[in-house]
Structure 1
């Protein structure tokens, strides 16, 4: 993955994009990367929770616990992403999400991730999650019909059939990679159906999603240009499908809805790529990494695994609890448009506020014994993994459906995944997930 792309086959425009991206990333001061990772003993003014290694090594929990206890709205002066506020508890995050006019997610104001977007058209990708009202409202409304309760109910038959077929084909008593064989295959198949994407090419969606959601690679002088190349490859593929949809009668797939809408039908090339990126990453990472968390959690909490086996009526709530405990996207970001006071902290116009959902979902004042899985947790649905307010994940119901169905079908077959080797996690401060998870299926 960390290889320099061959530029011989690039167009002049592609070469320019790659070179611009390289110059931009090489200008970043990397001295902060030489500092040791934060721990529970690190002084507050030295804590930087933007370091992706914290998540790849699964060492983020005590650091955020310290911040929640001692400085829940924490100022980080020095990071490779510049200075930023870390919001680590539940109430401040909900407060900021509820004021979208004061705290902007617009790409022209910095965007919605810790990695700053820019008004330079070679870097920024406008998408509706990275827009403020009224643009956001119009574009989101176009895709919302694909995720209504009635549409989710219609999709359940397909989701269940594909899940049944996949589980019946898995080996019993033999080691395999749960991430690849289960999590990726189920979520990629669902994306292909939503987009009306050619089934034989569906694994391209996984590859593109991994690159698109990698904000760490975006800053790397070697990987950054490769990432942009992969994104434009996705754009070219989807542009061809887009033209086919515009030339055809309206259909229920997402691309057709977008192509025939007033708000999205005449998008610029960059707005098109931005919204495709959003839908691919959003549709992939939440479901995929929670499905992997399901296998991991059953091994980490055997008492809860037995509780779920004995009480299948807990399955819908178990899906919510897994989403809370995993939190597949660690953060979202906002930019203050005016000076404001936030729970005693003075926020200045232009300040970057990073809302760490991964920490808020472990907030002890909201979730008792928050580091543990409890499938009967009464308030599991209060989890913030999908965000809050106008930017709450448009596909949340579909993600919940897919996770619930997987747990139900595993329970029907009385199957349990037993982890057999070392787990490899994603090296990212944005996507919180797993690369590999060796398991062996057993029956109970």
Structure 2
């Protein structure tokens, strides 16, 4: 079988290449994938089994997020220096220190306090959708929800959600013709987020409030605090990670329910299934398709000899359909329990900080949509994001 797991045109046309991933899991689970000299992509080890993705995720001392960063594309060393200040691109102990400072705003108790507000937002979005009749589920429902929540977390005005949406699209959609502009558009969007973060920080230092920005700016009990660059980069990470993943899980989840009408009928009959459905949606959609690590020394994964400096790419979308872990992994089952998916990461240092928030947003959204819009139906073709990183849906026309 011809294997190409990074062809963005394939992702835009057909989504995740599950047929190729299924073959690799069965025949070559740690596969040496040829690179692309024209794109300056070196060859890499494609890790496709659940057990191996977890192994790589939990051993930062062997598989570094910092050495060549965590995203797939190659970045010049001068750019890496700044990017290494972001938690995503750090290894312990630096990552441990930063994580301990930002954890304060993301405890289950802190997130649980948002449920009533998230429910109000979902009802408001459904009210607006019902008055229109025909909507795009992505731009009218799936995208606004996490943007409203981010504004709430930051203590930012709700009207800022449109520019946060635009910045995020420009940073994530650099390879997509609908979002990409000039070659430096992603960098310009990041610079605008930095400036926005600086403005928020200045306002909170002058007038502290009960929001995550104020908490992040406070000095911890051990005397540690975030530097200005660290704070700006965390807000950048929050704007992208807190927005893109939930948006694409919600839109991909709705599309999956349309494609599996018996599951939609189950949810309409019993909206309490949204609790298990939220995890099944994350497993099935795998909004983050892959991350990259770099070997810090010679090691092995299964029977493959991995050399120091080798590029390793873990595929969550493959691990989440591993036949050795999930019964009937190719079935979308909203009542699946247990569900040991790794859509929020394979554990270890980089397990998703916002997993409680994402699951809460998805659970409440699908409860409200199933209760309020039982006759919702797809009215046009879904359009996918041209990206091998984010498994994204750009448009999903529906009739209310």
Whether the TM-score (by the shorter chain) exceeds 0.5 is yes
* Partner Cα distance (2:294, 2:350) in 1: 14
* Aligned CA distance change for structure 1 residues 100 and 122 (closer, same or farther; 3 Å): closer
Report what 1:69 is aligned to. Answer: 26
Does 2:226 correspond to 1:265?
yes
Equivalent residue in structure 2 for 1:58, among 3, 14, 22: 14
Q: Deviations over 1:144-185 (max 9, x none)?
A: 122212112211111111111221221268321000000111
Is residue 147–residue 395 contact of structure 1 (8 Å, CA) maintained in 2? yes
* Mapped contact 2:171–2:185 kept (Cα < 8 A): no
Partner of residue 138 from structure 1, selected from 91, 97, 103: 97
Q: In the comparison of the two structures, how many residue pairs are matched?
A: 390
Instruction: Tell me, yes or no, if structure 1 residue 294 matches structure 2 residue 250.
Output: no
Give the match's secondary structure for 2:91.
Answer: coil
For the residues of structure 1 that align with 2:91 and 2:187, how far apart are their CA atoms? 25
- What does residue range 110-189 of structure 1 map to in structure 2 within 5 Å? 110-121=68-79, 124-125=82-83, 126-171=85-130, 174-189=133-148
| Separation in structure 2 between the aligned mates of residue 247 and residue 142 of structure 1, nearest angstrom | 21
| Structure 1 residue 77: Cα displacement | 2.5
Alpha carbons 1:172, 1:440 under 8 Å: kept: no
Q: Is the contact between residue 170 and residue 180 of structure 2 (CA under 8 Å) also seen in structure 1?
A: no
Find the partner of 1:98 among 38, 58, 71: 58
Asked if the contact 1:425/1:433 (under 8 Å) is kept, the reply is yes
Please show how residues 324-343 of structure 1 align to structure 2 within 5 Å.
324-343=283-302
Aligned to 1:37: none
Q: Tell me how far apart the structure 2 counterparts of residues 245 and 293 of structure 1 sit (CA, whole Å).
A: 36
Unmatched runs of 5 consecutive residues or more in structure 2: none
TM-aligned CA distance change 1:227 to 1:348, over 3 Å: same
Question: Mean Cα displacement is larger for which, 226-235 or 424-433?
Answer: 226-235
Q: Secondary structure of the residue that 2:227 maps to in structure 1?
A: coil
The gaps in structure 1 that reach 5 residues or longer are 1-40
Q: Is the 8 A contact 2:101 2:226 kept in 1?
A: no
Q: CA deviation at 1:435?
A: 0.5
> 2-side partners of 1:96 and 1:325: how far apart?
21
Shift of 1:69: 1.6
Q: Contact 1:295–1:417 at 8 Å: present in 2 too? A: no
Is the partner of 1:202 in helix, strand or coil?
helix
Of the candidates 172, 177, 188, which is equivalent to residue 213 of structure 1? 172
1:312, distance to aligned residue in structure 2 (A): 3.2
**1:384-423 mapped onto 2 (5 Å cutoff):** 384-387=342-345, 388-423=347-382
On the 8 A contact 1:117/1:123 being kept in 2, the answer is no
The alignment yields a C-alpha RMSD, in angstroms, of 2.1
Please report the TM-score for the alignment, with normalisation by the length of structure 2. 0.92
Report the Cα distance in structure 2 between the residues aligned to 1:173 and 1:230, rounded to whole angstroms: 31
Matched with 1:431 is: 390
* Counterparts of 2:81 and 2:140, CA distance in 1: 34
- 411-420 vs 140-149, which moves further: 411-420
1:187: how far off? 1.1
The higher relative CO (CA closer than 8 Å, separation ≥ 6) is in 2
Shift of 1:407: 1.2
- Say which SS state the counterpart of residue 74 (structure 1) adopts: strand
Q: Name the CA shift for 1:223/1:89 in 2 (closer, same or farther; >3 Å).
A: farther
1:313 to 263, 272, 288: 272
How far the C-alpha of 1:399 sits from its partner, in A, is 0.4
Whether 1:364 aligns to 2:320 is no
Return closer, same or farther for 1:310/1:227 CA change in 2, 3 Å cut-off: same
| Correspondences of 1:218-297 after superposition (within 5 Å) | 223-249=182-208, 251-261=209-219, 263-268=224-229, 271-297=230-256
Question: Deviations 1:316-340 (Å, cap 9, x if unpaired)?
Answer: 0011001110011111111110100
- Alignment check: 8 A CA contact 1:97 1:389 kept: yes
- Write the distance in 1 (CA, Å) between the matches of 2:176 and 2:386: 10
